[in-house]
């Protein structure tokens, strides 16, 4: 279902951290995550960031002087960026011992239903008792106006242009079935502004979430359709001189309790 090579490429782009708007977005999400996980900054804690897209979350912890040690997982053992706490990823988190971490977090992980179940089970295993996890997913209505423009212009060719979002009820049900307590699926909205349509593509690319479906449409769009797309975006999404998009994020959180 997912193209592993494209996921790796996405993460390489995101780790470069060259887009100030993306960096600010991740910084805001990290602030939000710290509040939701209720991490006590005065207690020593260990945190696992699963399929990390950059180092912004760990840098936020350092900036706010949290007493924490962050490990990160990634698909490839060639992608280290001089990180000391680096773990090659698999769904079973097989190189990590039981009850290792106080918290686990993942920003926009690429999981299908079966992988999500497996990863949540593995996360449960590596969490200490009373430990928490937080996964952030794009909601199905995220950038809905932008998606509708693509659907209208490209018609049938728009099939598989966007990675599907996990169902909010499915997220909660899977998590509860595994044994997590205090399971919450919450939602927040963010307004992202850009000056030009091309800035949207750079934001999505540098966020590390470009379409990674294996059967995505890889054909180059015509110049006519591209120009039509850009003009329609300007017409329908411009507010106060800026192109605006509402990004909706689902937060899945749970606690390991006996």
Give the chain's mean pLDDT. Answer: 89
CA distance linking residue 108 with residue 206, whole number of Å: 13
pLDDT tens track for 146-164: 999 999 998 877 778 898 8
pTM: 0.92
pLDDT bin (cut points 50, 70, 90) of residue 241 is very high
Decide if 244 contacts 196 (C-beta within 8 A).
no
| Predicted local distance difference test score (pLDDT) of residue 144 | 94
In the predicted model, is pLDDT for residue 74 greater than 60? yes
Domain 4-255 in this protein, CATH class? alpha beta
pLDDT at 49: 94
Average pLDDT over residues 39-54: 91
Question: Cα 201 vs. chain centroid, distance in angstroms?
Answer: 17
Residue 13 in this model has a pLDDT that exceeds 70: yes
Report CA dihedral (170, 205, 49, 118) to the nearest 10 degrees. 40
User: Higher confidence at residue 61 or residue 111?
Assistant: 61
Average pLDDT over residues 244-252: 95
Cα gap 203→23, rounded to integer Å:
10
* Environment class of 22 (CB within 10 Å of its CB; exposed 0-12, middle 13-18, buried 19+): buried
Banded pLDDT at 84 (limits 50, 70, 90): low
Q: For 204-239, how does the pLDDT look when each residue is reduced to its tens digit (9 = 90+)?
A: 999 989 888 888 888 888 999 999 999 999 999 999
> In DSSP terms, which residues pair with 88 in a beta bridge?
74
Q: Which residues pair with 46 in a beta bridge?
A: 69
Dihedral of CA 224/226/228/231: which sign? negative
Work out the pLDDT band at 64, boundaries 50, 70, 90.
Answer: very high
CA distance 79 to 230: 35
Please state the domain extents for the chain.
Answer: 4-255
Asked whether residue 79 carries a pLDDT value surpassing 70, the answer given is: no
Contact 150, 158 (CB under 8 A): yes
Average pLDDT over residues 161-187: 92
Residue spans of alpha helices (H) in the chain: 4-15, 20-37, 56-63, 113-126, 144-154, 168-178, 197-207, 223-237
Does residue 241 contact residue 168 with C-beta atoms inside 8 Å?
no
Rounded percentage of the chain residues whose pLDDT exceeds 70: 96
């Amino acid at each position: 279902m997912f193209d592993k090579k494209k996921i790796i490429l996405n993460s390489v782009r995101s780790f470069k951290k060259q887009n100030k708007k993306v960096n600010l977005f991740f910084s805001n999400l990290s602030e939000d995550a710290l509040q939701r996980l209720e991490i006590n900054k005065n207690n020593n804690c260990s945190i696992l960031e699963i399929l990390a897209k950059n180092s912004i979350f760990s840098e936020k912890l350092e900036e706010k002087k949290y007493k924490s040690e962050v490990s990160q997982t990634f698909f490839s053992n060639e992608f280290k960026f001089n990180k000391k706490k680096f773990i090659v990823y698999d769904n079973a988190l097989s190189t990590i011992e039981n009850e290792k971490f106080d918290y686990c977090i993942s920003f926009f992980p690429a999981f299908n239903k079966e992988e999500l179940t497996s990863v949540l089970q593995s996360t449960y295993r590596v969490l200490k008792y009373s430990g928490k996890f937080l996964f952030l997913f794009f909601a199905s209505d995220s950038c809905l106006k932008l998606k509708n423009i693509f659907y209208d212009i490209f018609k049938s060719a728009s099939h598989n242009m966007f990675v599907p979002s996990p169902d909010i009820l499915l997220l909660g049900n899977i998590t509860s079935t595994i044994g997590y307590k205090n399971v919450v699926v919450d939602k927040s909205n963010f307004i992202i502004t850009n000056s030009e349509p091309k800035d949207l593509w750079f934001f999505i690319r540098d966020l590390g979430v470009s379409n990674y479906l294996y059967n995505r449409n890889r054909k180059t769009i015509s110049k006519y359709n591209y120009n039509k797309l850009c003009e329609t975006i300007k017409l329908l999404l411009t507010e106060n001189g800026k192109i605006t998009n509402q990004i909706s994020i689902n937060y899945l959180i749970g606690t390991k309790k006996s």
